[in-house]
Structure 1
Amino acid sequence: MDWDKLRIFHAVADAGSLTHAGDALHLSQSAVSRQIRALEEGLGTTLFHRHARGLILTEQGELLFEATSSMAKKLESASARIRDSEEEVFGELRVTTATGFGTLWLAPRLTKLYAKYPDLKIDLMLEERVLDLPMREADVAIRMKEPTQADLIRKRLLNIRMRLYATAQYLKSFGTPEKIEDLQNHRMICQTPSTPQVQAGAQLGQQVLAYDQASTLTVNNYFGVLQGVLNHIGIGILPDYLTADFPEIIRVLPDVESVEVPVFLAYPEELRSSRRVTAFRDFIQEEILAYRRFQSERKTED
């Protein structure tokens, strides 16, 4: 059905006159009349009873006017939201990141984002596979390496390291290792070697497991590793960004850590002006600044 003809029909039905509708649409009466006749022919029905004092909708015309009125209200609402979009953030935003970062750092902080933008709909996709942003498999990505795909805006958020952590209760029961060789006397918790993970974490895992511990716990994600550590099962390999939210974990062997792992935020060039993407980017940067302040204060205290 021709949208232009429907627009003209709605104006005529609303005004009850070809002349008045033409004035509102800046069309001649004859042009309006031709469009109405063409619409009636296309639908195979009469939409108006023509009287000397104006036009009256037929039963079929009333059905169509009800539909166009609903469409007009929706279009008016959409136009208003578009005009107001400089202040509002709403709609769906698809975010992809690694399972560990998404579950342990990002998801708990989304409360603040929703408080600021309650109409936002976030689809959080947690997986190690790198989704294709230019092909719009996701809108925004947070990854533990610099994206190589073309036509992306990218920003380095922070650097993280994989380190060894345990609880005070575990260390009280089993002792605190003083050198890396002492790890052979402890139960180690780390990601399963075959699990997709950042190379730095895998290398640190290989280093500590080389001491042939009698007992280990391997899990296919960092959430499981963290739960093992928090429940005093052993010493775990975890990303250092967890220390802000889990102060009960204590770093073990401060000289043992992975190389730096860069964390990047990226999104397609075509979404540069998206209010949803801008709001999410600003939110992430604010949270990263808060995390850096925490790290700085912690170092000062140490």
Structure 2
Amino acid sequence: MLIKKNINLEDIRAFALIAQHGSFTAVSELLLCSRSHLSKQLNKLEASLGVKLITRTTRTQKLTEQGKLFFEQVSQGLLTIDNAISHVVESSSSISGILNINCVGGIIGEEVITKLINDFTRGC
């Protein structure tokens, strides 16, 4: 398996969006970047892969056979990456685990610490 070191994930994402939307203009508006920036990303990706992914004219763009195959494969991969990112971010925003507290008994433990723990757990 040959792995190209200079392939950028953002270039792959840009390609996938262009293939999905069928328009450089729509994707440039979505990503808040210029069409020329997207074109450069696509050119860089195609050069890195050594294949033409999209045939472009001044009015249209069409996926090549390699582009269709690549789009099918990277779409699944990008979805997996996005799901993994979401899962990690969501799991890091909630507190979990064991909380060990050592305090004196009596009024401090029963009144003060218990109230603080209850308030804390309601906030989670």
Same-fold call, TM cutoff 0.5: yes
> Which residue is 1:25 aligned to?
31
Cα deviation, 1:197-224, whole Å, max 9, x if unaligned, reads xxxxxxxxxxxxxxxxxxxxxxxxxxxx
* Cα distance in 1, alignment partners of residues 12 and 93 from structure 2: 32
* Cα distance in 2, alignment partners of residues 4 and 86 from structure 1: 24
> Which residue is 1:81 aligned to?
87
> Which residue is 2:14 aligned to?
8
**Which structure: greater strand fraction?**
1
> Which residue is 2:119 aligned to?
none
* Cα distance in 1, alignment partners of residues 93 and 38 from structure 2: 39
Paired residues for 1:1-302 under 5 Å: 1-85=7-91, 275=96, 278=97, 281=98
Cα deviation, 1:64-92, whole Å, max 9, x if unaligned, reads 1112211221123223323432688xxxx
* Cα distance in 2, alignment partners of residues 42 and 86 from structure 1: 35
Cα deviation, 1:88-138, whole Å, max 9, x if unaligned, reads 8xxxxxxxxxxxxxxxxxxxxxxxxxxxxxxxxxxxxxxxxxxxxxxxxxx
* Cα distance in 2, alignment partners of residues 76 and 44 from structure 1: 26
* Cα distance in 2, alignment partners of residues 29 and 87 from structure 1: 36
SS at match of 2:61: strand
Instruction: Give unpaired runs (5+ residues) of structure 1.
Output: 89-272, 286-302
What's the offset of the Cα at 1:54?
2.5
Q: What TM-score results when the alignment is normalised by the length of structure 2?
A: 0.63
What's the offset of the Cα at 1:51?
4.0
SS at match of 1:84: helix
Letter paired with 2:69: L
SS at match of 1:27: coil
RMSD: 2.4
SS at match of 1:36: helix
Letter paired with 2:79: K
* Cα distance in 1, alignment partners of residues 46 and 84 from structure 2: 29
* Cα distance in 1, alignment partners of residues 9 and 92 from structure 2: 28
The percentage of counterpart residues that share the same residue type is 31
Letter paired with 2:9: W
Q: What TM-score results when the alignment is normalised by the length of structure 1?
A: 0.28
Q: Highest Rg: 1 or 2?
A: 1
* Cα distance in 2, alignment partners of residues 41 and 15 from structure 1: 22
* Cα distance in 2, alignment partners of residues 81 and 55 from structure 1: 35
1:47 to 1:86, Cα distance in 2 relative to 1, 3 A: closer
SS at match of 2:55: strand
SS at match of 2:33: coil
Letter paired with 2:88: I
